[in-house]
Structures are given as C-alpha cells and as structure tokens.
Structure 1
C-alpha cells in the first residue's frame, strides 16, 4: 500500500475495505480507471496493482501535480523545490497580529493563485505549492472561490511536511497510467476503457444534499442532474462489459434502482470539516455492478434502514 500525496476532502482511506469488497476478484480485473481521482486513496491502496489504466480529475492544479510526479525530470525538480525553497521560516513566532510562518503562507498562496488570475506561472512550482498549502492550510482542506482561487486560511506554523518518499513511490506507480484532466465521461467517449476493466467512481456528493458541505473542492457544483448523468455513463459501461463500482451518499439510491446495481450501506467518518464538532459518522453507500464481488452483499434490509 502506498500513501496519498495529499489530504483531500471526501477521501476514502477509512472505508477502503468496504469499497474494495465490492470489486471483482483481483484476477478478473483488466485495467483500473478512476475518473474522480482527488487524493487517489483507492488507487494508492489497490488500483495501481493492475494493468496500467487511467485516472482523471477536473481540478487542473491537482492533475498538474500528478503529471509532474509522473515525469522523471520534473519530479526531481519538484522535490528540490519542496526541500530547498518552500520550507517555512524556522524562527519562533513574533509578537503582533501575524507570525512569520503565517505571513509566508499567504505570500505563497498569492503565487499559487496565478493560474486562475490569468498570470504566467511555473507548473512545477505550482505543484510544489499545492503540496505546501495542503499541509499548512486549515485542516488540509482544498477549496476554491467562484473565480477558481484557492482561499483556505493558514493553520500550521511549523508542520512536518516532507513528502519526498511518497512522491518517489507515486512516480513509480504512475508509470504507464494515462492521467486525464477533464470530464469523467472520457471513460465512454474514448478508447481508454475496455471490456473486463474496472471503473471506480467517487463523485462529489449531490450539492443539494446535507452531506455535501465538506466535499466541495472545485468552484463548479455537482448537482442532482449530474448524478443522473453519471448513472447514464455507468449504464453505458455495463453494456460494454465493464465493471462499475460507485461510492456516494444515500441520497442517490433512488437513481440506481435497476437490478444491475447492488447497493451496500457503509459508515464513513468525516475527516475534513470546518466545524470540528461535526466529524461524526456519516452513512455512505457503495454501488456495484459486479456479478460476483469479493464479499457478498449485506442483507437488503440494511439498505432500507438508511433510506428510511
């Protein structure tokens, strides 16, 4: 098991076992595809084990980081910047409204936001800044305003932030993997996915649902209509002989009523939330089209308990 590079809202590290139990047996999986990659917890846990497939995310700066890591020369420069250029000041905080580390954070955040402002930027420096900001910002949250600017405030003054070993490991795992940046529907609109492959969808929660507040990391919403379009994409994949597994909120269960979809309830603890008191257990569901998953489906009455 490899470790993700970033902490990411909606990450699935705590429920990976429940997700992979809905996968086909390992020997029956061709290539693995993850169209809503985010922090990539499931890929780093298991997805890398199969024939080189694809990953994707709509967040351009996130995908830029992964492409930098995939490239040998750029990966080396990324590590160099992190080790030599971006370490926060080592001095003790000074008196006054801000300490040195806090001022430094906001300076780097301004540089990171060059892309959405239409200014020229260094793609490797931007990737390094994404890692730096992710570790030093409030609660590891990634959030964009309506202009696409990262706007999370500072939190840590002197964190343990070295990611060199994780970057090296991710570099090795990304070799041969197609890294896309765009719409998740590439899985049906391109030749990247073949019969016998597995596609794992981890979409943003329905923005109309109460559970969506901690899972918004891009300025464009993902609403109920988008959830229906995702179901249509899943239908197309199944018709092409591709296995599909989806993790989502219970609010989408009325979308997946066709008998080809088995729904499994699970619990998930919120790891990122602006309110520290609101990190209790949240019910999620795993939806699978796999005929013979690794672990049999739980009793259907438990699904009805969530719906009611």
Structure 2
C-alpha cells in the first residue's frame, strides 16, 4: 500500500473495502480513466495498466513524479513558508496579473502556477512542484479552477505544513513506473482495455441537490451528457468482457440498475474538509458487472495477482 501524494476532493480511501469486495477473482491489466488523487490505484499498486485525467496539470504532476522524482523533491525543498514575504527575484512579487497586491509567498506561487491557463511559457517540473506545494498549503487542500482554468483557492492555515513529501513521491514513482499516463477524455480506455482487464471509473459526482456541485475540480465540469456517455462506455466494455467497477452519487442508482449492473448503496464521508466534525456523509453507489459469485477474496486479492 502506497499513500497518495495529493489531497483530492472525492477521494475513495473510505470506500476501499467496498470497492475491493467487488473485484473479480483475477484480472489482467488495471485502468483508471478518471484518476484524481488515485486512492484505489495506490492502495492496489497494480503491476501495469493505465491512468488518465482531463486536468493537464494533474497529469503532468504524475508524469514528473514517475520520471523525475529526485528533481521534483529538490524543487519542493526550495519553496518557503506560505506566510513569508514574496520572493523579489521572481515575477508577481508585488502584484498579480490583475494588479492586485501580493501580500505573501503563497499568492506569488499561485500566480506562477497559473502560467499554463494564461498561455504563458512554463516549466513542467516547476508546475508539478507548485501543484503539490499549493495542494499542501491552500485552504482545506482543495483543488478548484475558475472558468478560465486558473487555480483560485486561497491560502490555508497550517502550523507546520509539509509540502515536500519525499517518501510519498519516491513510493508513488515506483508504482507508476510501468503505468501509461494519459491526458484525454475518459473514452480512451476503449482503445486500451482488453478482455479480462479491470476498469475503475470514479467520475465527478452527479449533484445530490441543486446546490451540491461536485464537478468544480476543473473548468470543464462533468454534466448529464458525460454521465450518459460513461454509462454507454461501461456497457460496451461489459460486452467486450472487461471487468467494470464504478462509483457515483446515489442519484445514479436507477440509471445503472436499469442498465443491468449490480448496484448497491454505500455511505461515505467527504474528506476534503479540515474539520472532521463538518465532513458530511452522503449516499454513494458502487455499480459493477462483476457478479457476486465471480468476486475474489478481499484479503487475498493482491497475493493472487501480484
């Protein structure tokens, strides 16, 4: 088991036992087309397969972790406390792109991180380092983009934030060594998943209510048409002999049940709030084409396959 490097909204650490309980007895390659923080992937430590995300900066981060872990760690060690004064040797030490005063180091780094959405030249290694730095020093560890694709989460309040995460980076790098990393639409998996493979889908959740939007992790969002495309793809993979497991919000129960999947409701606590008392439990579903009699023993799964 490897710990994820990033905090990520919608993470599945609390659903791991329920997800493993739906795993087939055996499978070949593992694919995760909506990766995010990758809680299941890093707990499973698959030997090979593919991961994908539509967020290009997140994908770049995992590529840098996989290919340049020591350089990434060195760059992270160069960063300063988020409350420090801005670095006068770098851009945005006095004002941001809109002319607003930059008061501390955190907001300067946030401006530097947002080079890509403003079509400015950027260094891939620095962008990856800044993603982790901001992730570990921003408010609640939240990743959120505005409609222009700019990361806009304010500074958090931490007594001793650890943004280097050297042990996690090295461990994650090893797990990713033989994994293909894509920055495409989730339907890419149609091209790579073969009979006997396992695909886990973890889409941005369909809202439980008009005010409960779980799709603000990127500027593009994930709407009704995307949910319908996802179901169609899951059905196609099922027809091709691919094992499929999918988690989603409770409002999607009927949709997958009517499509012939095995669907059950699970309670899960949202873990993106720094205050444990304010983490709400919401209904989630797990849908799969793996029949109960075809499922493996949760405690022995990894030993059988790896």
Normalised-by-shorter TM-score class: 0.7 to 0.9
Q: 2:72 matched to 1:78? A: yes
User: 2 CA distance for matches of 1:213 and 1:90?
Assistant: 31
User: 1 CA distance for matches of 2:59 and 2:261?
Assistant: 30
Cα separation, partners in 2 of 1:103 and 1:166, compared to 1, 3 Å: same
Q: Does structure 1 retain, via aligned residues, the 8 Å contact 2:204–2:214?
A: no
User: 1 CA distance for matches of 2:38 and 2:208?
Assistant: 25
User: 1 CA distance for matches of 2:31 and 2:166?
Assistant: 25
Cα separation, partners in 2 of 1:248 and 1:91, compared to 1, 3 Å: closer
Deviation digits for residues 53-99 of structure 1, max 9, x if unmatched?
Answer: 0000000000000001111xx2221110011x11327979xxxxxxx
User: 2 CA distance for matches of 1:173 and 1:62?
Assistant: 17
Structure 2 partner of 1:4: 4
Q: Which residue of the other structure, out of 46, 63, 66, is the alignment partner of 1:67? A: 63
Q: Does structure 2 retain, via aligned residues, the 8 Å contact 1:204–1:212?
A: no
Q: How does the TM-score come out when normalised to structure 2? A: 0.85
Structure 1 partner of 2:96: none
Structure 2 partner of 1:38: 36
User: 2 CA distance for matches of 1:273 and 1:216?
Assistant: 15
Between 1:211-220 and 1:31-40, the stretch displaced more is 211-220
Equivalences for 1:1-308 in 2 at 5 Å?
1-25=1-25, 28-46=26-44, 48-49=45-46, 51-71=47-67, 74-83=68-77, 85-88=78-81, 103-156=104-157, 158-188=160-190, 190=191, 192-207=192-207, 209-210=209-210, 212-258=212-258, 260-273=260-273, 278-291=278-291, 292-294=294-296
Q: Does structure 2 retain, via aligned residues, the 8 Å contact 1:244–1:289?
A: yes
Q: CA deviation at 1:162?
A: 2.9
Q: How does the TM-score come out when normalised to structure 1? A: 0.85
Q: Does structure 2 retain, via aligned residues, the 8 Å contact 1:70–1:171?
A: yes
Q: CA deviation at 1:220?
A: 1.0
Secondary structure in structure 2 of the residue aligned to 1:257 = helix
Q: CA deviation at 1:242?
A: 0.0
Q: Does structure 2 retain, via aligned residues, the 8 Å contact 1:69–1:75?
A: yes
Q: Does structure 2 retain, via aligned residues, the 8 Å contact 1:262–1:287?
A: yes
Q: Does structure 2 retain, via aligned residues, the 8 Å contact 1:60–1:181?
A: yes
Between 1:285-294 and 1:132-141, the stretch displaced more is 285-294
Secondary structure in structure 2 of the residue aligned to 1:179 = strand
Q: Does structure 1 retain, via aligned residues, the 8 Å contact 2:51–2:180?
A: yes
Between 1:224-233 and 1:143-152, the stretch displaced more is 224-233
